[in-house]
Amino acid sequence: MNHTFTAIDFETAVGKRYSICQIGLVRVENGNIVDEIDMLIQPPFNEYFPMNTSIHG
């Protein structure tokens, strides 16, 4: 059986949905990572909470 999926992860700068600062995607086919991408995004007002950045950098 072919098991293929893409996992997505969002990180936020201030814990609000509108404050996305990073997106990660991983493509998995039959248990193997075949592609991945990581994108940094400047959140609105360029505001970051120290607690959030201590978790995801």
pLDDT in tens, 12-56: 999 899 999 999 999 999 999 999 999 999 999 999 999 988 887
Q: How far is CA 51 from the centre of its chain?
A: 16
Q: Could you give the 3-state DSSP secondary structure of residue 18?
A: coil
Q: Which fold has domain 4-56?
A: Nucleotidyltransferase; domain 5 (3.30.420)
Of residues 44 and 2, the one with the higher pLDDT is: 44
**pLDDT bracket for residue 11 (50, 70, 90):** very high
Q: Is the pLDDT of residue 7 over 90?
A: yes
Phi, psi of 31, deg, nearest 5: 85, 0
Q: What angle do CA 32, 9, 27 make, to 5 degrees?
A: 25
- Please say whether the dihedral angle defined by the alpha carbons of residues 39, 40, 42 and 48, taken in this order, is positive or negative: positive
The whole-number pLDDT of residue 4 equals 97
